[in-house]
Amino acid sequence: MPSSTNTFKDVMYEHIRTVVLEHLPYRNKILDVGAGIGVWGSNLQDLHIDALEIHEPYIKEYGLHRYYNNVIVGDILNFDYDDYDYIIIGDVLEHIKVEPAQKLIKDITSKGIKCMVAVPYLHEQGAVGGVESEIHHQPDLTPRIMKSRYPDLEVFLSTNIVHGYAYYTNYIKWVK
């Protein structure tokens, strides 16, 4: 589904705004991967934010052009994100198979690009409304599995595991 829980969203909007404005280079380009209904774009419109959406019908259905500087149809695994300073991967990582997802996080981190990853814990999901990109290929995510699979990420905010949700970053060490 093209949306997610509102758990901690207000905290994350302010955190991202602070990180971008106080800790990033002058250009401050942000990419929202899997924009869905445009939650991040609508709440961070004061920043330079672009959207990457794999399912083209969501762009018109949710009016994504209202919230983003640029809206691009594409898959993060085949997208050149080198020009971005900050990448929001909100409710997307679980939709990517383990090995390509690991390579993605490692590549983003090795390039010095800051990213925030939001994931649901222990959440099975098939195609929603016939949209194959909505399938969860990592329905087994827990804090322990995230730490094992994605050593470059550290938990920033988390709820409990059962029906849980968490935000991770690859930069928490330098913000503290």
For 15, residues 6+ apart whose C-beta sits below 8 A from its C-beta are 116, 156
Distance CA 106, CA 124 (A): 25
Give CB contacts under 8 A, 24+ apart, made by 62-69: 62/2, 62/35, 62/36, 62/37, 62/38, 63/38, 64/35, 64/38, 66/38, 66/42, 67/35, 67/38, 67/41, 67/42, 68/32, 68/35, 68/38, 68/41
Answer whether residue 42 shows pLDDT above 80: yes
List pLDDT tens digits, range 66-103.
Answer: 999 999 999 999 999 999 999 999 989 999 999 999 99
At 176, is the pLDDT very low, low, confident or very high (cuts 50, 70, 90)? very low
Q: What is this structure's pTM?
A: 0.86
* Span of 61-65, 110-114, 172-176 with lowest mean pLDDT: 172-176
Q: Where are the domains of the chain?
A: 9-175
Class of domain 9-175: alpha beta
Of 47 and 63, more confident: 63
Check residue 8 and give its pLDDT: 65
Of 121 and 149, more confident: 149
